[in-house]
Amino acid sequence: MGEYVKVSEIFGENVFNDTVMQERLPKKVYKKLKDIIAEGGDLDLETADVIAHEMKEWAIEKGATHYTHWFQPLTGVTAEKHDSFITAPLPSGKVLMSFSGKELIKGEPDASSFPSGGLRATFEARGYTAWDCTSPAFVRQDAAGATLCIPTAFCSYTGEALDQKTPLLRSMEAVDTQAIRLLRLFGNTTSKKVTPSVGAEQEYFLVDREKFYERKDLIYTGRTLFGAMPPKGQEMDDHYFGTIRQKIAAYMKDVNEELWKLGVTAKTQHNEVAPAQHELAPIYAEANVAVDHNQIIMQTLKRVATKHGMKCLLHEKPFAGVNGSGKHNNWSLTTDDGLNLLDPGKTPHENIKFLLILSCIIKAVDEHAGLLRESAADPGNDHRLGANEAPPAIISIFLGEQLEDVVEQLVSTGTATSSKKEGVLETGVRTLPELDKDATDRNRTSPFAFTGNKFEFRMVGSRDSIAAPNIVLNTIMAEAFCDVCDVLEKADNFDEAVHDLIKKNFSEHQRIIFNGNGYSDAWIAEAERRGLPNIRSMVEAIPELLADKSVNLFEKFGVFTRAELESRVEVKYENYAKTINIEAKTMIDMAAKQFIPAVIRYTKTLADAIVSIRAAGVEEVSVQKKLLEDCSVLLRKTQEALKSLTEIEAKACVMEEGKEQAEFYHNMVVPAMEALREPVDELEMLVDKEMWPMPSYGDLLFEV
Ligand code: ADP
Ligand code: MG
């Protein structure tokens, strides 16, 4: 048994959090910083110097030698450049450890090699990182020693966003402004701020480290590009919530402890549906912190896996035919004085403010369904969304029986007079407690489900940052709130106007509400009748960013300029093309250098066997011959598919970067990859396992 730790003692021990700041900063400085964290404003250099000094002293006590501006460029992962605290040697030959306010507030990484989508002209390649004081700094301990990590935003010389954090912070301000405006109209004079709360459930796979390194596809692309199905998959439903094996439990214990030290509220863990698949969820936090924490979670999952002789796969679809991984983005709006705007109360039909807010959400999601779908688009997610597993690519909203009934009443009669009761769950056993049933119910097949006092957006990919979906959610809500405020501020009769708006929003956007089975074919047809978009792939989703209504939306609320959106579109097409390019090249490499030679060796042993059996005077060699024939036919198919993929890939490579190239990859290269995979997977079932050049799905999924 390992050592036991006291969670309350280690929690947040490596975070420059409020307690540390209060202890270490002079009162005036502390107050100034707290004001800026709450309300924004400029930090003068003198104050910054004091904070930087205290931060450095604290970090050094934790063993830190370096600091880094930690940021989230458009690569999908975080970036950092480390600087040590040392100064130039003194005449005595010794060095001092220093860290100035200027170094805390602003960094200037050589940004020319981060994706900018043409935003940063080459003559002005500078990019700036700026301290985001709303997300606390932390000390990360790893093989590099200890490093003070300072969460920062990343912008170009002219202030354009080159990262995920800048637009996220802008969108949080936008929804704050509009939500406060709405609350004031309802007579709320006390709440000062409305913040989106986000809790992201992270799914991941664990595989054996040595086996991982025997597969070039896992090494280069994070997913398997070949592989026949093992005899057993997830059909027995015996992994989901199953007992966690000791090896995995030890890993989770380590992950939790590391996360707790970093102030991440790791809360829930369980086995997921697929073999070797697991999930970790923290307690929700302010959107900005939740986005940073999710990055820390992904990094920690990976780092700790290596220590335990495993590899953590965050790819959306590491194994074909086995459930992929996603990230459920739980989202709500909360005031600084603890009011959850999405809380319906016991009798939602009487809760006029809640109904108006709900109607705004329905309207926002219906009007910008394409944009929301785009926010979950990434090359890996193409294998999940709209394919034969969770969730469908069509955006719809699940409200649950109680709220759907209220909406129904409102739309048909203009007023809602009752709320269905949740009732009690009867187990039929006298010794079991009576359980209150959740009136909001659960629907696992809905991409956007109301779950009590929050919405759960289930489309996000497991590897992706959760910044994009939250930017969209915050901004579309800002718009919907703004629209109703515009009407209400001019209304003569407030109550009547609220009532009319609720009815109007629900009536006009009821088509987005769907409580049935989102995986069924019938829903696809029904959604089409309702005119809901069904965007099946990333390349089809990207243009949503530049649709007129999207550009107007983002510009109106100061979240993105058109130029910023154009740059993101460019980065996304490039990212898609590069991802598929690497996958195609990896397949070509594996087929040419591993599979074809292995099959040739195997067919030679068959041929040799036939000769020696015959030499021994036995004529019956039909089994060996049949195998030899079958393998040879598949080998030929493999060879042809390889040739075809190589040619198509060569064409794609020389195309100019952009939309057309990305579409070519999607429409031409991806099918050619599938055509190559098919005969190879069939061969895997025929060829002697001893001679197959890499671990199988069974080896990877069941022998962790
Ligand atoms: P599930 O049954 O889907 O796993 P959980 O109750 O475990 O749902 O919650 C999932 C996530 O939702 C957690 O990260 C949790 O902290 C978060 N969450 C709970 N309430 C809220 C809320 N009001 N706003 C945002 N996230 C929330
Ligand atoms: Mg869950």
Q: What is the pLDDT of residue 436?
A: 64
Closest ligand to residue 272's CA: 2
**Residue nearest to ligand 1 atom 1, measured at CA:** 201
228, 346, 401, 406 from 418: Cα distances, Å: 54, 11, 13, 7
| Nearest Cα residue to 327 out of 288, 286, 405, 272 | 272
Greatest extent of the chain over all pairs of C-alpha atoms, in Å: 105
Mean pLDDT score, 195-204: 97
268 lines ligand 1 (CB under 6 A): yes
Give me the pLDDT at residue 423, please.
65
Summarize pLDDT for 644-688 with one digit per residue, the tens: 999 999 999 999 999 999 999 999 999 999 999 999 999 999 999
Does position 178 have pLDDT exceeding 90, yes or no? yes
Question: Kindly report the CA angle at 569 between 72 and 331, in degrees rounded to 5?
Answer: 55
CA of 283, closest atom in ligand 1: 16
Which range, of 91-95, 233-237, 560-564, 632-636, averages the lowest pLDDT? 233-237
pLDDT in tens, 272-327: 878 899 999 999 999 999 999 999 999 999 999 999 999 999 999 999 998 899 99
d(CA 510, CA 281): 32
Dist. CA 329 → ligand 1 center (Å):
9
Helices (H), 186-240: 209-212, 216-221
- The pLDDT-based confidence of 113 (bands split at 50, 70, 90) is confident
Cβ–ligand 1 distance for 454 under 6 Å, the answer yes
**Mutate which of 265, 280, 288, 330 to test ligand 1's pocket (most atoms within 8 Å of Cβ)?**
330
Could you give the CA distance from residue 269 to residue 19 in angstroms, rounded to a whole number? 28
Q: Would you state the pLDDT for residue 75?
A: 85
**Is there a contact between 94 and 86 (Cβ–Cβ < 8 Å)?**
no
- With a 6 Å cutoff on the Cβ, whether 281 touches ligand 1 is yes
Res. 365: pLDDT tops 60: yes
Two tokens at 622?
Answer: 């039909």
What is the identity of the amino acid at 653? C
pLDDT of residue 121: 58
Q: How far, in Å, CA of 76 to CA of 65, rounded?
A: 27
Distance CA 453, CA 334 (A): 10
**Mean pLDDT along residues 126-151:** 92
Give pLDDT, residue 441. 57
pLDDT > 70: percent of the chain: 94
197 lines ligand 1 (CB under 6 A): yes
What count of other Cβ atoms lies within 10 Å of the Cβ of residue 267? 14
Task: Report whether 222 contacts 314 (CB < 8 A).
Answer: yes
| pLDDT computed for residue 390 by the predictor | 64
pLDDT in tens, 514-545: 988 888 889 999 999 999 999 999 999 999 99
Strands 64-70 and 145-156: parallel
Rounded to whole angstroms, the Cα distance separating 439 from 453 reads 11
**pLDDT exceeds 70 at position 425:** no
**Segment holding 109, helix H or strand E:** none
Whether residue 171 has its Cβ less than 6 Å from ligand 1: no
Residue 428 has pLDDT above 80, yes or no: no
Contacts of 441 (CB under 8 A, 6+ apart): 400, 401, 402
Locate 496 and state its tokens: 């009547």
**Angle between helices 401-413 and 352-367 in degrees, nearest 10:** 90
Per-residue pLDDT at 587: 98
Spatial separation of the C-alpha atoms in residues 347 and 671, rounded to whole Å: 52
Q: How many helices (H) and strands (E) does the chain have?
A: 24, 17
Return d(Cα 472, Cα 640) in angstroms, integer: 45
Task: Tell me, in angstroms, the distance from the centre of ligand 2 to residue 280's CA.
Answer: 8
Which among 183, 197, 188, 198 is positioned nearest to 360, based on CA atoms?
183
d(CA 696, CA 2): 33
Nearest alpha-carbon partner for 391 in 466, 456, 314: 456
3-state secondary structure of 199: strand
| CA–CA distance, 406 with 510 (Å, rounded to integer) | 12
Count of positions (residues) in the chain: 704
The two three-digit tokens of residue 350, written as one number: 């009487």
CA of 453 to the centre of ligand 1 (A): 9
Give the separation between CA 70 and CA 78, rounded to whole angstroms.
7
Q: Give yes or no for a contact between 509 and 364, defined as CB atoms under 8 angstroms apart.
A: no
pLDDT at 372 exceeding the cut of 70: yes
Residue environment code for 634-665, b if the CB has 16+ CB neighbours within 10 A, otherwise e: bbebbbebbeebbebbeebeeeeeebebbbbb
CA of 283 to the centre of ligand 1 (A): 7
Q: What is the pLDDT of residue 275?
A: 87
Q: Are 348 and 402 in contact (CB under 8 A)?
A: yes
Show the tokens assigned to 550.
């999207």
Structure confidence at residue 76 as a pLDDT band (50, 70, 90): confident
Residue 159 has pLDDT above 90, yes or no: no
The mean per-residue pLDDT over the stretch 496-523 comes to 93
Confidence of residue 384 (pLDDT cuts 50, 70, 90): very high
The pLDDT of residue 463 = 96
Say if CB 698 and CB 230 are below 8 A apart. yes
The CA 295 to ligand 2 mean position distance, Å, reads 18
Tell how far the Cα of 272 is from the centroid of ligand 2, in angstroms.
9
Q: What is the mean pLDDT of the chain?
A: 92
For tokens 């930090």, name the residue.
43
Give pLDDT tens digits for 385-401: 877 666 789 999 999 88
Which range among 83-87, 403-407, 412-416, 573-577 shows the weakest confidence by mean pLDDT?
Answer: 412-416
- What is the arithmetic mean of pLDDT over 484-505? 96
Task: With beta carbons less than 8 A apart as the criterion, state whether 147 and 50 touch.
Answer: no
Does pLDDT of 236 surpass 90?
Answer: no
Q: In the structure, what pLDDT confidence band is assigned to residue 156 with cuts at 50, 70 and 90?
A: confident
Q: Is the CB of 444 under 6 A from ligand 1?
A: no
